[in-house]
A = this chain, B = another copy of it.
Amino acid sequence: MSLTGNGPTLRDVAVMAAVSIKTASRVLNDDPAVAAPTRAAVMEAMRALDYQPDPAARSLRAGKDRLVGVVIDSIGDVFFAQLVAQIEATLDTAGYRVLVASSNRDPVRERDLVQSFVSRRCAGVIVAPNGPDTLADLRMRDVPVVFVDRAGTLAGSQSVVSDDVGFGRTATSHLIAHGHTRIALLSDTPVIDTTRQRHEGFRAAMAEAGLPVDERLVRTDCPGPAEVMRVVPALLGMDEPPTALISTNTRLSLGVVPALHQRGRTDVALVAIGDFAMAESRSPAVTVIDHSPERVGDAAAAAMLARLAPPGDQPSQDPTVIVPARLIARGSGELLP
Expressed in whole angstroms, the minimum distance between the Cβ of A206 and any Cβ of chain B is 29
Apart from A6-B139, A6-B141, A7-B139, 14 more pairs, CB < 8 Å: A4-B63, A5-B141, A52-B119, A55-B119, A55-B121, A74-B85, A75-B100, A76-B82, A76-B85, A81-B81, A97-B116, A98-B101, A257-B278, A261-B282
- The number of chain A residues with a CB under 8 A from chain B is 56
Closest to A3 in B: B63
Write the A77-100 contact mask toward B (1 if CB under 8 angstroms, else 0): 110011011101100100001111
> Is A29 at the interface (CB under 8 A from chain B)?
no
Q: Return 23 A-B CB contacts under 8 Å, by A number.
A: A5-B142, A6-B63, A55-B119, A55-B121, A75-B84, A75-B88, A75-B100, A76-B81, A76-B85, A78-B78, A85-B102, A88-B102, A92-B101, A97-B116, A98-B100, A100-B100, A254-B278, A257-B278, A257-B281, A258-B278, A258-B280, A258-B281, A277-B277
On whether the beta carbons of B120 and A56 are closer than 8 Å, the reply is: yes
Which residues in chain A, 4-23, are within 8 Å of chain B measured between CB atoms? 4-7
> Is A314 at the interface (CB under 8 A from chain B)?
no
C-alpha gap A100/B57 in the complex (Å)? 21
- Which chain B residues lie closer than 8 Å to A141 at the CB level? 4-6
Expressed in whole angstroms, the minimum distance between the Cβ of A208 and any Cβ of chain B is 34
Write the A101-134 contact mask toward B (1 if CB under 8 angstroms, else 0): 1100000000000011001110000000000000
Residues of A within 8 A of B (CB): 3-7, 52-57, 59-60, 62-65, 74-78, 81-82, 84-86, 88-89, 92, 97-102, 115-116, 119-121, 139, 141-142, 254, 257-258, 261-262, 276-278, 280-283
C-alpha gap A115/B54 in the complex (Å)? 12
C-alpha gap A142/B4 in the complex (Å)? 9
Expressed in whole angstroms, the minimum distance between the Cβ of A265 and any Cβ of chain B is 12
Closest to A141 in B: B5
Count of this chain's copies in the oligomeric assembly: 2
Smallest CB-CB A-B distances: 6 pairs: A76-B85, A258-B281, A81-B81, A4-B63, A56-B59, A261-B281
Closest to A92 in B: B101
- Which chain B residues lie closer than 8 Å to A257 at the CB level? 278, 281
Expressed in whole angstroms, the minimum distance between the Cβ of A123 and any Cβ of chain B is 12
Closest to A277 in B: B254
On whether the beta carbons of A75 and B85 are closer than 8 Å, the reply is: yes
- Which chain B residues lie closer than 8 Å to A76 at the CB level? 81-82, 84-86
Expressed in whole angstroms, the minimum distance between the Cβ of A180 and any Cβ of chain B is 23
C-alpha gap A86/B76 in the complex (Å)? 8
Expressed in whole angstroms, the minimum distance between the Cβ of A63 and any Cβ of chain B is 3
C-alpha gap A320/B261 in the complex (Å)? 42
C-alpha gap A75/B64 in the complex (Å)? 25
